[in-house]
């Protein structure tokens, strides 16, 4: 067997220039392709991140929907709760008190919580002023609660109606 002979390329006159031009052209095309590839990759990564964020937002919206699905029903039950409280102020009946506590516990288990009012500093996000009166207590302190306010999972669904001092 013969050893392979080394073949040497000998360009014709001006051939080197043609080869250099072709190499330069191919290198330029490669740079363009690399730039496009980087742009496509970045675009794909942004699209993927957008999709992940969208998916997370949708999951949060669904969770919030289920969390607050009973809000309408609870708002309808609040006047019943108010009536129980009024009845207990006038007559201390153990049967009424037991029913009141059962209803209150059911609503509490569904995420309902009372807004503290009497003795607290007035907060327009939680309280609604019905009347201002003169008092020796600090400024804008709640003196009396006319109607209890409630939050559902931290969201105010009915503000407390209160009297504050000037």
In this structure, the answer to whether residues 80 and 159 fall within a common structural domain is yes
Which residue range is the domain that position 40 belongs to? 17-67
> Per the domain annotation, does 12 fall within a domain?
no
- Longest Cα separation, the chain: 119
CB distance 129 to 99 below 8 Å:
no
The stretches of the chain forming alpha helices (DSSP H) are 15-67, 71-90, 94-109
Among candidate residues 41, 67, 93, the one where a domain is terminated:
67
In this structure, the answer to whether residues 58 and 75 fall within a common structural domain is no
Q: For the chain, how many structural domains are there in total?
A: 2
In this structure, the answer to whether residues 121 and 80 fall within a common structural domain is yes
State phi, psi for 130 to the nearest 5 degrees: -100, -35
Domain containing residue 147: CATH number: 2.30.22.10
- Residue 164 burial (CB count, 10 A): 22
d(CA 124, CA 140) in angstroms, rounded, equals 11
In this structure, the answer to whether residues 39 and 89 fall within a common structural domain is no
Among candidate residues 26, 52, 67, the one where a domain is terminated:
67
> Per the domain annotation, does 7 fall within a domain?
no
Q: pLDDT in tens for each of the 166 residues of the chain?
A: 455 666 565 556 666 788 888 999 999 999 999 999 999 999 999 999 999 999 999 999 999 998 899 899 999 999 999 999 999 988 888 888 999 999 999 999 999 999 999 999 999 999 999 999 887 777 889 999 999 999 999 999 999 999 998 8
d(CA 52, CA 61) in angstroms, rounded, equals 14
**CA angle 119-125-129, nearest 5°?**
60
In this structure, the answer to whether residues 128 and 160 fall within a common structural domain is yes
In this structure, the answer to whether residues 101 and 54 fall within a common structural domain is no
In this structure, the answer to whether residues 48 and 106 fall within a common structural domain is no
Q: Is 39 exposed, middle or buried (0-12, 13-18, 19+ CB in 10 A)?
A: exposed
């Amino acid at each position: 067997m013969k050893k392979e002979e080394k073949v040497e390329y000998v360009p014709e006159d001006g051939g080197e220039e043609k080869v250099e031009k072709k190499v330069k052209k191919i290198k330029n095309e490669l740079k363009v392709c690399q730039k496009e590839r980087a742009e496509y990759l970045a675009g794909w990564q942004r699209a993927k991140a957008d999709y992940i964020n969208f998916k997370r937002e949708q999951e949060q919206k669904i969770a919030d929907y289920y969390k607050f699905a009973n809000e309408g029903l609870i708002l309808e039950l609040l006047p019943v709760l108010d009536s129980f409280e009024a009845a207990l102020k006038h007559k201390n009946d153990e049967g009424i008190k037991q029913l009141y506590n059962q209803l209150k516990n059911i609503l509490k288990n569904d995420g309902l919580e009372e807004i503290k009012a009497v003795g607290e500093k007035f907060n327009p996000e939680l309280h609604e002023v019905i009347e201002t009166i003169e008092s020796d207590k600090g400024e804008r302190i709640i003196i009396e609660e006319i109607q209890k306010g409630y939050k559902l999972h931290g969201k105010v669904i009915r503000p407390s109606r209160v009297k504050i001092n000037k």
